[in-house]
Every structure is written in C-alpha cells, then in structure tokens.
Amino acid sequence: MTTNKKAIEIIKKSNKIAIFSHREPDPDACGSMFGLQDLCQKMGKKADVFVCDTPADYIVNIFPFKKAKFEFHPDQYDLVIVSDLHSIERLSSIYQQKIADFKNVLIVDHHIVGEGEKVITKNCVIKQVAAASMIVVDLFAEAGLTPSKKGATYMYAGIMGDTDRFLHSNLTTDVFDKAAFLMKHGAAVQEIYDSFYRKITRKSIATQKALYSKMRFINRGKAVYAVFTTQNLKHAKIDVEDVKALSNSLIRIDGVCLSFLIYQLSDGIFRVSMRSSADDLVPLANKMNGGGHNFAAAFNYEGDFLSLRKNVMLWAKEIMHV
C-alpha cells in the first residue's frame, strides 16, 4: 500500500500523466479521473484523461468528455494513474496490455481487494471509503492545494454517484465533511442534482416503464431481477446507458433486499449489476471476474438468455444463503 504522501511524491516526479478508470465509467470513475487531472494540473503537470466508452447523457452533462482522449501512446507519458479500480480486468480491453506493460503506474481506489485478486501495481492508495473521489480530495490536502471550481464539481459528482445522493449505507461523517469542503470550493451542486436526478426525459420514462414490466420476483419476493436483451432495448427505443441509469431502482422496492439489473452487451454477453441491502456481493462478483462494493457490484456473464435466468436463481440463493 502507498501513503498519500508517497502518491504525491510519485506525481511530483512525473511530467506527463495519463489517467484511466474502469470500462463503462460511472460518476465516481469520472469524478476521480477528472479530479486527478485537476490535481495534476494544479501541480504544474500535463495530464490527459482517457475514455473509450461514452457514458449516459446525465454523466456527460457534468464532465468534460470532449477533452478526453481515446488513443493511448505509452511512449508519450511517464506516469499512468488508474482510479476507481485495482485489477487489470476492469479496464477497457484496448488499454489492458499497454497499462500492464507500463512501468510507472499509480492506483487510487476504494474497492475491496478480493482474495486472490491480482493488483496492477504495488503503488496503490486503496482505502475503503464511500468513493474514490474522496481519496482524491485527500490527495489535494496532502499536496497543500485546493481544487478548481470545476474540479470540486467533478469530485462532488463522484461522491454523489457512489452514495446515491447520500442514501447508501457507506456513509460516514467523512463523506459529509468532504462534500462540504467541495461545496466551499465552488462545486456546482445544483447543476449535479439537476443532471443526475431532477430532470426526467421521455426516454427515461420509457426506460422505467420497460424496467417495471420486465422485473420478476424470486426468493419469496425478497429478490428481484430484470433482464434486457438487445431486442428488448430496440423495441423500447432505449439503450444500455438508459438502463444503467436505473441500477439502484429495484433495490428500493419495499421488502426487496437483493436486486439484479441485467442488460445484454453483445451476442452471448450480459452485464449483471447487483444491489443488496444486507448481504455481501463481493464474493460472487469476484468469483465471476467482476468487482465492486459490499452492497453494489457487477460482472459480465457469458451465455444465453435461458441459462442466465437459471443462474440468477442460483446466484440469489448463494448471496442470501438460502
């Protein structure tokens, strides 16, 4: 493990920095990436953010994806920072080998390292806090710097995303302290709320309608799942990003303590997004080469629709120990 002080020393010794996060970036992935870019620039470094998956509109509205880069040329950089993940498998496939071969990598992450998991590098700032963006706030403090208004907005959005408006059980007083700190330094809180939660589009209404028509209760109503195939998405005139925005919806149903939101990525490949109010999801996620938090995790599943439905039943029993 690496201390905040050592992480800042590593950044100080570098000149041009490439910043990455996991595939299909969520608000905290984006918040920590663009927050780190703000930190590096405040330290007088050149820093580029790399993204190959375009997130949903509600995320794009907050973060400067037009300034992000796609093609990564390792010889142009002397440091790679990877945020909101620690294993190579969660990176987009086009970056995996290049980062695996890169000699100077720093990790900033808040996920639990599973038993047997291979961490990309020994230079790791890994803390079990609510969001990776919170660790970036700590790095600003260690460097004796304060974020720009835009940087504060990005990190606040990251914290908002991974706590779901301060609703999850991962809350601590430190979460609120850092949120207050970022507000003090100009975070556009209302803009984030409007983009993430207050504005409802016709497309989001169609997505919610499709979600509730697809959901099925199992384990005596204590678990629920919904599966979206490519055909379902096309019929409803929605896409994967629209569905992903509702990852936390099913777990809010009264009496439900486990939910699976599943959507097809390509032929024979499904993304399984899990939420729980009580049972640890990490063991199953790690077993399936995925990852996440105790009560929010995900993995990819290879197989057909029928085998997927059968496995959901088995996964629910395994998680809930029934």
Give the residue-averaged pLDDT of 118-139.
95
pLDDT for the residue 322: 87
CATH fold of 4-197, please?
A: inorganic pyrophosphatase (n-terminal core) (3.90.1640)
In the chain, % helix, strand, coil (3-state, to 5) comes to 45, 20, 35
Joined together, the tokens standing for residue 71 give: 């093609």
Q: What is the pLDDT of residue 145?
A: 98
Average pLDDT over residues 315-321: 97
The answer to whether 48 touches 66, Cβ cutoff 8 Å, is no
Domain ranges of the chain: 4-197, 202-320
pLDDT digits (tens, 9 = 90+) for 196-216: 888 778 888 999 999 999 999
Which two three-digit tokens encode residue 282?
């990490």
> How many secondary structure helices (H) and strands (E) does the chain include?
13, 11
> Which pLDDT value is given to residue 200?
79
The count of other CB atoms within 10 Å of the CB of residue 44 is: 8
The pLDDT value given to residue 144: 98
pLDDT score of 29 more than 80: yes
Reply yes or no on whether the pLDDT at 11 is more than 90: yes
Q: Residues with Cβ < 8 Å from 187, sequence gap 6 or more?
A: 149, 152, 153, 155, 156
State residue 153's pLDDT score. 98
At 242, is the pLDDT very low, low, confident or very high (cuts 50, 70, 90)?
Answer: confident
**pLDDT, tens only, 76-109:** 999 999 999 999 988 999 999 999 999 999 999 9
Which residue, among 7, 5, 34, has the nearest Cα to 147 in the 3D structure? 34
pTM for the model? 0.82
Match domain 202-320 to its CATH number in 3.40.50.2000, 3.10.310.30, 3.40.50.10790, 3.40.50.720. Answer: 3.10.310.30
Alpha-carbon distance values, 25 to 92, 214, 235, 244 (Å)? 10, 25, 26, 11
Yes or no: say if 274 and 281 are a contact pair by the CB < 8 Å rule.
yes
